[in-house]
Amino acid sequence: MTQNLDTDETLQITELLTELGRRHLHYLVNEVAVELLKAKAPFSESQRAAVLRALSSVASESPEMQSQVKAFDYVLGPLLAPYIEDTDSPLLLRAAVRCFPFIRHPSPDRFAATAFRVGTFSLHEDRYEI
């Protein structure tokens, strides 16, 4: 696994990937996200989180972009679900939750499992600390 990026590098990479997604979403999804988000891919948590943040940023920009990102659910949904359902990494979990529900697993059962995990994470008692 490669070394995690520092904060400035992560922000720069996220901005670059977001701009790539605005211009060439198919490339961001098929050539970048698919490769970086595979379970055994040799990339760091911060690199994976940058891709997830870029995808969520692109999807949240407009209804048109949201529908374009949603068209890739069959590719991205199965890659995203484990980052929400199974990860112990707060960095990856936060980045993945930003993608939901813009990107979701095409299987209703897996979608339900992911939605349950998002709800549990969002409503957990330690989220309301004052």
pLDDT tens track for 52-87: 999 999 999 999 999 999 999 899 999 998 888 888
d(CA 36, CA 42): 8
DSSP string, 11-48: HHHHHHHHHHHHH-HHHIIIIIIHHHHSTT-S--HHHH
pLDDT at 128: 43
The 10 Å Cβ neighbour count of residue 73 is: 16
pLDDT at 97: 86
pLDDT at 104: 78
pLDDT at 124: 55
Element (H, E) at 60: none
Model pTM?
A: 0.84
**81-130 pLDDT per residue, tens:** 888 888 888 888 889 888 878 887 777 787 877 777 777 766 655 554 43
Most confident of 22-31, 37-46, 94-103, 115-124: 22-31
